[in-house]
Amino acid sequence: MDRRVFTKSLLLTSALSAAGCSSAISEAEKPTVYRSGFLSAIREWRIERNPTFEFVHEYKARTDNGFRLPEIPVEKINDRYLRQRVSYASNYAPGTVVVDVANRFLYLIEPGGKAVRYGVGVGRQGFAWQGAARIGLKREWPTWTPPAPMIQRQPELAKYSAANGGMEPGLNNPLGARALYLYRNGRDTLYRLHGTPQWKSIGTAVSSGCIRLINQDIIDLYRRVPVGAKVVVKQNEAAV
């Protein structure tokens, strides 16, 4: 047997064994698994057996407005925090965004008792925020200007103050690829739904009150919701 073929066969067998899979993979699928390597073989196995993850391929690398977003290693993220369509019985109108802080989910309500669910990172204890608001502004690759209270807590952020022009857009900007600005009674609450390059923070409580999503997820949410959409942030919501 050709040495390269033998090596590729061994890689595939090892990946499927680790994943607990005993079913055969078609010849059409094999080249993709071989080229992708061990972790991607596991990822493909997960996708095949979890058809609810209809959006998982959207976590691949992409170029957006001139910025190259890296691929998200979905095999390292808890399944529950990957974007997926779920059943969600509620009285909210379609188009409403519901943030379930306790369970680290954001739901975009759809007709027919369905919702698109995204995993999120939320505010640390002491910075939690709840209530109803509206999306007052939408920005692609926004500039980040930390509010005055944050600068008081972290003086090193003064260089990014509004007076200094803020932090320019980019892959390291804390607001990520998109930001949805929450307003209440026509006034900025200073809270945001935004992207983050720190995919490991999804499912945790780390931010200063804002709701963060994987960059690929905030891009998806951004295109689905208009300015004026209602956002409800709840601290105690039953998991769906």
Return the domain boundaries, the chain: 1-49, 79-234
Are the C-beta atoms of 61 and 70 separated by less than 8 Å?
Answer: yes
The pLDDT-based confidence of 5 (bands split at 50, 70, 90) is very low
CA dist 44 and 32 (Å) reads 9
Residue 21 known to be catalytic:
no
The candidate with the shortest Cα–Cα distance to 178, out of 205, 201, 212, is 212
Residue 210 known to be catalytic:
yes
The pLDDT-based confidence of 2 (bands split at 50, 70, 90) is very low
Q: Encode pLDDT of 116-153 as tens digits.
A: 999 999 987 656 778 999 999 999 999 999 888 888 98
Query: Domain 79-234: which topology?
Result: L,D-transpeptidase catalytic domain-like (2.40.440)
pTM of the model: 0.76
And the tokens for 161? 């103050």
Helices (H), the chain: 3-18, 30-36, 38-49, 148-153, 215-224
Of the residues 43, 104, 117, 194, only one is catalytic, namely 194
User: Considering the chain, what is the average pLDDT of its residues?
Assistant: 81
Of the residues 97, 179, 182, 210, only one is catalytic, namely 210
